[in-house]
Structure 1
């Protein structure tokens, strides 16, 4: 591999003629601007931390309060007023501070003003936190013709008044968000038993009831007390254990099993030029990072009033998952000015800043990506398949990292260039596109984003951007650092910036001043286009890479992925039926699965708990007593349409209540999971918890969020609809289904399963979903006619 261009910034030599100093002005300029940029970031972070810390108060209110106290107190003799705005505090301080006038009066007034302001700030902060504890508004019906209760309206008004005079930053609400509440053990037991009733016959259900009762009256009480202690001490009693035990301690491959993917807007593309699309996307991603760093990104608000926790945004960029023998760890670096580019088996380090300024899309295209695409250097031995290490089993990768990447050139390259990069961008050599006459093209697109070839991604990176040869884009994201909603927010920004605001090819050249600047950077500069610098790998390391690739290849070849685009109707008809779109789709999935498998099974739907501090996800169990009754009625020819509609409304209502409970901290599975973790720490065995935690989720579902912000208006830009994203199957004999409500008339389903399973077939299940949605539409139309 060609090595990076190097230059000596400063050197000196002592000879008989004296001391000779040699320095390079250009490199010293780069070093200077890099330091200035770092100091600016540090200062900005300190200021922003103070501003967020005093929210919902403001620093300007502090200045006004202190100024007002000084003015009122120092001029009271002039106005002959006996009013003391500090209620005697200023006079008390004056007796104990030994300074000359008027300094003494100013100091006392300033201290008094600050004390009063601080008291009001603390009152506002804890009042806001108390207000956010109220979740009654979540359970109230909203929409046309429905009114909110008096209590909820007064609550909304109080929250609005508390935040009216403050402009929130990204992390402003963090100190005001309440802690995730710990459910009562009795409540969780009741919800759990109700959720498994449709899955068990009478004998098994009675056995499970006895196990639950034994647990509740026995070891469960002790485990609950320990968990209660943690819920008082930690900001969130679930999150740290969830990240550690569900993600970081997993030793199986994260490719397909954990990582998830997202796709492009399938109907629209600003350019077919790969370098131009890569340039626009890279520039937009760094603009998003700037918004996060400066906290200028507005927090996501529910009902434009209630904030969601924003802590996950911090690790979006400059983050890698580092393998360990027993457990991995998430490493987040404070800053990075480069990305890693993978193309044709080679790794490139691509700097994205010059003298503290982000390069423009033109510069990215012409002097970075096009040069990488034109580079014909050959990968070093073992380099092309290096990414397979991150796709295989975690333990061999951890051992290889300690053995072959502890020191030397490859250790430096891995750490400084790959893991410290802002993100990884892959320039694909193949094309993928959407063809309404060939659904397999969309399937191929999804597989490329989900796993690629098993070696051409760095699966440990927080996210990889994939740019196809024809300009289509997507991403592959590691799951431990954040949930899909965070990546969806980033992707929504990137897509809208690229499709709507940029909307064209990055031109080859712009103004004259820009031409002079880029010539200075790239023709006379030092190493702004440079390669990763991996040296040839030893035979033992190549053998480990090959073994990891074999594991990854077997895994990806077993994936059966189907992307189904439903255009008969979308959320428009669901709203006319006065049903929650999410509940409607979940009932369609229950009907489709029953027809496909001939039975009901444990179903997982991801819900967020970001209404609470450091919240991540909770499980909704869509397979309920009500949903099972409706499905059976749909399969019973003697059932009337009116009966089926009534049962469907009841099932959707129960599902919506379960979703609301999960969002409000009243879920089942995270509570039981944490009780199980404590039981393992205490080395006590619970037959109930062992059985609950070993139950397979044969139908794992998730809704991809769409339109979290107002940046994308699908009414004005209908071609900007995204197909969303998906994930691999959770159970060997089950389905993974991700869906997105892309518009009033469009739905996308990403259906994954394993080819090795004799009971699953993704294409067959897609047909079952299509039939279920059609039957539900006909059901309502028939009921309305009658």
Structure 2
């Protein structure tokens, strides 16, 4: 095998004439180039660390400050060391070299002081969120002045992590305010008796246990970077003992209407190369920070740190996240076999055609899976504790450990799927539903669900992602996916035959087949996990559909927030679907703060319920419905603002509950609040890099977004992406086992609710388009 020859740098034999040494010059060359690549990467990381550490200062700024300081002192004939050396040496006059050293030291101190002032001034400025309450399209003079100051103190040419030290900490809201907002959100879901009881529990908590728990929480907020994120990661994700497949992992879809190539290996070649280019930009901190408000307000970038070379490692009681600083290979699965594929050769990243060449070799490999190998990844799809025990018992030594390390330490995981998935215009519902289910869980053993993300390339060239949730939230993986989809057809492209551009490499070593020795006992555990996973997967009812009757362009004509419009439509659809309201979760981000992740917007408000009831009652006039709709939309927008600015409800209550458990205190109020099921869980997938896609000239290049599994056994999971001006893609999930839910029925209710709400405005859609 070619890779075996390349692995040996030299050979020697002992003969009567002495030692016969034979050096393999190609192997030594590869070792030299690999080491050179590693040192370059270390230098870049060191340089970026320095640049980020001194931001908004910079080396040129340092030179300007030091030279200016020394020139000023020379012109005015002052001691640049401010008498420091004179005191040390006991002399009035210092030598020229001492003046230089003293000037540099004092100038450096002055430069550091300026950085400190700028950084803290920016932190104070970013702590003000009044700009969020400005009316759309109008900016007050105060906000304009604030934006100017933010720009002045933000420095020039920031890198991805430049603003991390300037972001404010997430504030801890007062217990009284959180309890009040909770009761307000719970009122539409309770009758008078239930609500009075809950008011009593909240009042008792607010008066007695709450202040004590709050004291510990404030102490943590002063000490830690973020008082929520580490506990959220640990207790919501890593301590869960159930399957992460469906329950936690989520997916992202390919283009909806465009199929760049039907050659599986070629699509994988371009996609893998684009992902590796993104990783290189990430390593070099060349990805631009994400902003709000006309590129003025930076968001936290901490979640990008673990995108690659990351795996969730199972444990008996809690999982851990393993992140490698560097990984030069990927792991690939095809028809029950695992392969290790190096991504570098000759000291450079493999080109798309070369990666396609590697994928072709895997597809052409006719070898059979080893005993237990085909369904091995089902361990990552089942319960966590059996997987942790099996990992410790059967994968902690020998060839099994080496092969498992190759997967867990890979940059990411690739599945060359042997099924075909894509959107079919003649059968849109069935084709998209099948596509969504395949990305969400596949066959339950052909994705490594523990990896930070899986790239899935289907037999007909369609592709998608499946991502693990604990390390980051969907917008982070969405940013990567936008990069890949924009690079694939536009910048990398394909030949007329559908292959990647370029030529195969004549001497490229082939993929390495991973070896396993899986005993019968372990195979029993694998089959047990597979049974659990299949039961879970078969129960998922997925429905994905493009809503193209209208989009955000027409909604904005109604002077209504598109997100509020959709959320209110979801409440109307749910009421028609089940005949009742339910506790509703909408994900919002808190990345305006350092290491922020998400907060909950409780979308089922009194105002929204009032509007929904008006739509159900035929006697309500249109003008009244419009008035109620405006009130509901404004309420929703205000709730969203509160969530984004650290004044949400659920993360604060969650952390108070964690503190109560550490103290051994029992709170009936917190216990009841946190046990309430989210029967409608919703999330918007943001389109972040709009400039990458020219949807005016090429409206067909739209992604279908992504989705996730249902949170409650008798509830719905709804994800949506607003694409361009005229399209909204919905992804709905529920469980077949629940007699209350039906994803297709709910999808029909969503479509009708959207149309009914738009009809209130009596707009001529065709004329506006």
Corresponding residue SS for 1:384 = coil
Say if 1:555 and 1:5 are closer, same or farther in 2 by CA, change over 3 A: farther
Q: 1:404-415 alignment to 2 at 5 Å?
A: 404-415=394-405
The residue aligned with 2:688 is 707
1:553 to 534, 537, 542: 534
CA contact (8 A) 2:718 2:732 kept: yes
Say if 1:756 and 1:644 are closer, same or farther in 2 by CA, change over 3 A: same
CA contact (8 A) 1:2 1:377 kept: no
Say if 1:358 and 1:575 are closer, same or farther in 2 by CA, change over 3 A: same
Q: How much does 1:437 deviate? A: 2.6
1:141 to 129, 135, 147: 135
Cα separation, 2, equivalents of 1:288 and 1:2 = 29
The residue aligned with 1:379 is 369
What is the CA deviation profile of residues 179-226 of structure 1, one whole-angstrom value per residue up to 9, with x for unaligned ones? 000000000000000000000000000000001011111111111111
Q: How much does 1:67 deviate? A: 2.5
Task: Kindly indicate whether residue 196 of structure 2 is the aligned counterpart of residue 206 of structure 1.
Answer: yes
CA contact (8 A) 2:356 2:500 kept: no
CA contact (8 A) 1:191 1:668 kept: yes
The residue aligned with 1:595 is 576
CA contact (8 A) 2:316 2:389 kept: yes
The residue aligned with 2:645 is 664
Corresponding residue SS for 2:691 = coil
1:585 to 566, 574, 589: 566
Q: How much does 1:536 deviate? A: 3.4
Q: How much does 1:33 deviate? A: 1.8
Corresponding residue SS for 2:95 = coil
The residue aligned with 1:157 is 148
CA contact (8 A) 2:599 2:650 kept: yes
Task: Kindly indicate whether residue 473 of structure 2 is the aligned counterpart of residue 483 of structure 1.
Answer: yes
The residue aligned with 1:110 is 104
The residue aligned with 2:341 is 350
Corresponding residue SS for 1:607 = strand
CA contact (8 A) 1:362 1:507 kept: no
The residue aligned with 1:436 is 425
Cα separation, 2, equivalents of 1:565 and 1:432 = 16
1:494 to 475, 484, 499: 484
Cα separation, 2, equivalents of 1:487 and 1:763 = 27
Say if 1:323 and 1:598 are closer, same or farther in 2 by CA, change over 3 A: same
Instruction: Answer with 20-29 or 610-619: which moved more.
Output: 20-29
- State the number of aligned residues: 761
Corresponding residue SS for 1:583 = helix
Corresponding residue SS for 2:581 = coil
CA contact (8 A) 1:94 1:108 kept: no
CA contact (8 A) 1:413 1:532 kept: no
The residue aligned with 2:38 is 38
What is the CA deviation profile of residues 697-754 of structure 1, one whole-angstrom value per residue up to 9, with x for unaligned ones? 0000000111345222322321111110000000000000001111211111100000
Corresponding residue SS for 1:749 = strand
Instruction: Answer with 644-653 or 93-102: which moved more.
Output: 93-102
CA contact (8 A) 1:322 1:330 kept: yes
Say if 1:782 and 1:265 are closer, same or farther in 2 by CA, change over 3 A: closer
Task: Kindly indicate whether residue 560 of structure 2 is the aligned counterpart of residue 571 of structure 1.
Answer: no
The residue aligned with 2:177 is 187
Q: 1:549-698 alignment to 2 at 5 Å?
A: 549-698=530-679
Cα separation, 2, equivalents of 1:765 and 1:268 = 27
CA contact (8 A) 1:4 1:532 kept: no
2:514 to 518, 533, 542: 533
Task: Kindly indicate whether residue 412 of structure 2 is the aligned counterpart of residue 423 of structure 1.
Answer: yes
Cα separation, 2, equivalents of 1:288 and 1:623 = 39
Cα separation, 2, equivalents of 1:171 and 1:104 = 37
Cα separation, 2, equivalents of 1:502 and 1:6 = 30
Q: 1:83-102 alignment to 2 at 5 Å?
A: 84=78, 89-96=81-88, 101-102=95-96
CA contact (8 A) 2:250 2:708 kept: yes
Cα separation, 2, equivalents of 1:241 and 1:478 = 17
Corresponding residue SS for 1:422 = coil
Corresponding residue SS for 1:282 = helix
What is the CA deviation profile of residues 40-84 of structure 1, one whole-angstrom value per residue up to 9, with x for unaligned ones? 21121111111111111111110122223334444x3xxxx45x4
Cα separation, 2, equivalents of 1:676 and 1:66 = 52
Task: Kindly indicate whether residue 283 of structure 2 is the aligned counterpart of residue 283 of structure 1.
Answer: no
Q: How much does 1:3 deviate? A: 9.9
Q: How much does 1:572 deviate? A: 1.1
CA contact (8 A) 1:269 1:499 kept: no
Cα separation, 2, equivalents of 1:689 and 1:651 = 28
The residue aligned with 1:360 is 351
Cα separation, 2, equivalents of 1:391 and 1:630 = 42
Cα separation, 1, equivalents of 2:310 and 2:522 = 25
CA contact (8 A) 1:641 1:783 kept: no
What is the TM-score normalised by the length of structure 2? 0.96
CA contact (8 A) 1:256 1:728 kept: yes
What is the CA deviation profile of residues 102-127 of structure 1, one whole-angstrom value per residue up to 9, with x for unaligned ones? 21121111112112111111111111
Q: How much does 1:11 deviate? A: 4.4
CA contact (8 A) 1:5 1:530 kept: no
CA contact (8 A) 1:263 1:725 kept: yes
Say if 1:536 and 1:5 are closer, same or farther in 2 by CA, change over 3 A: farther
Corresponding residue SS for 2:624 = helix
Cα separation, 2, equivalents of 1:783 and 1:645 = 17
Cα separation, 2, equivalents of 1:601 and 1:783 = 34
Gaps of 5+ in 1: 523-527
Cα separation, 1, equivalents of 2:540 and 2:274 = 32
Cα separation, 2, equivalents of 1:134 and 1:340 = 46
CA contact (8 A) 1:336 1:420 kept: yes
Cα separation, 1, equivalents of 2:108 and 2:515 = 57
Q: 1:207-222 alignment to 2 at 5 Å?
A: 207-222=197-212
Task: Kindly indicate whether residue 741 of structure 2 is the aligned counterpart of residue 760 of structure 1.
Answer: yes
2:322 to 316, 331, 334: 331
CA contact (8 A) 1:349 1:530 kept: yes
1:464 to 454, 470, 482: 454
Cα separation, 1, equivalents of 2:500 and 2:443 = 35
1:236 to 226, 231, 242: 226
Say if 1:507 and 1:105 are closer, same or farther in 2 by CA, change over 3 A: farther
CA contact (8 A) 1:2 1:533 kept: no
CA contact (8 A) 1:641 1:782 kept: no
What is the TM-score normalised by the length of structure 1? 0.94
Q: How much does 1:428 deviate? A: 1.1
Corresponding residue SS for 1:465 = strand
Instruction: Answer with 701-710 or 573-582: which moved more.
Output: 701-710
Task: Kindly indicate whether residue 313 of structure 2 is the aligned counterpart of residue 322 of structure 1.
Answer: yes
